[in-house]
Amino acid sequence: MSRAVLSIGANLGDRLAHLRGVVEGFADRVVAVSSVYSTAPWGGVEQDDFLNAIVVVDDPGFSGLDWLRAGQRMEQRAGRVREVRWGARTLDVDVVWCADLRAGTLVAARSSDQELTLPHPQAHRRAFVLVPWLEVERDATLEVDGVSHTVRALLDGLDAEERDGVHLTDLTLLPNTAHASADPRRSTP
């Protein structure tokens, strides 16, 4: 696999620093980074709001499991503890979508492995994933139940309350840039 879309979020500790750590941790593998959004917690557990973003990464030597394991290592370094499902966390790194590059075309990967399900089985229901993803990949598609949908159509199909709960912040994950969705390799002085 060569490309993955990662949804990152944090609602404990220095939330912004935890998210920046992901961008820094993937360094030259980062293709695009969305703006930072503030969202209410998802899943019904009482907790503080999250900061969320999307990071698109690329490395021909990585598989979906490699992206997952790299994200889990970053979660551990950030002090992530898994006590309550959908509970508060210092850092959450989810692999939403992966693709292989075959004959010059990205082909979406599918996995029903116990450790990694691709595409992410809940991504299509979460505006905090779809809004920032759409920002950095306007033509993105996501397969749901075997049918490919544009991310725009999936977002439009969500309840207005879900969409309206995603708030753009003035925070950025990239140093020295005016636009968070720019390629970080081009923003380096």
Q: What is the CATH number of the domain that holds 91?
A: 3.30.70.560
- Answer yes or no: is 29 within a domain: yes
- Answer yes or no: is 189 within a domain: no
Mean pLDDT of 66-94: 87
Mean pLDDT of the chain, nearest integer: 87
- pLDDT value at 118 more than 80: yes
- Answer yes or no: is 35 within a domain: yes
Question: What is this structure's pTM?
Answer: 0.87
Contact 123, 142 (CB under 8 A): yes
Q: If pLDDT is split at 50, 70 and 90, which confidence band does 1 have? A: low
- pLDDT value at 22 more than 50: yes
Lowest mean pLDDT among 167-171, 172-176, 183-187: 183-187
Helix H segments across the chain? 15-26, 64-77, 127-136, 151-156, 160-164
- Answer yes or no: is 183 within a domain: no
Total domains present in the chain: 1
Q: How much is the pLDDT for 185?
A: 30
Higher pLDDT, 177 or 31: 31
Q: If pLDDT is split at 50, 70 and 90, which confidence band does 189 have? A: very low
Residue 156's contacts (CB-CB under 8 Å, 6 or more residues apart) are none
- Answer yes or no: is 37 within a domain: yes
Contact 62, 2 (CB under 8 A): yes
- Answer yes or no: is 143 within a domain: yes
- pLDDT value at 183 more than 50: no
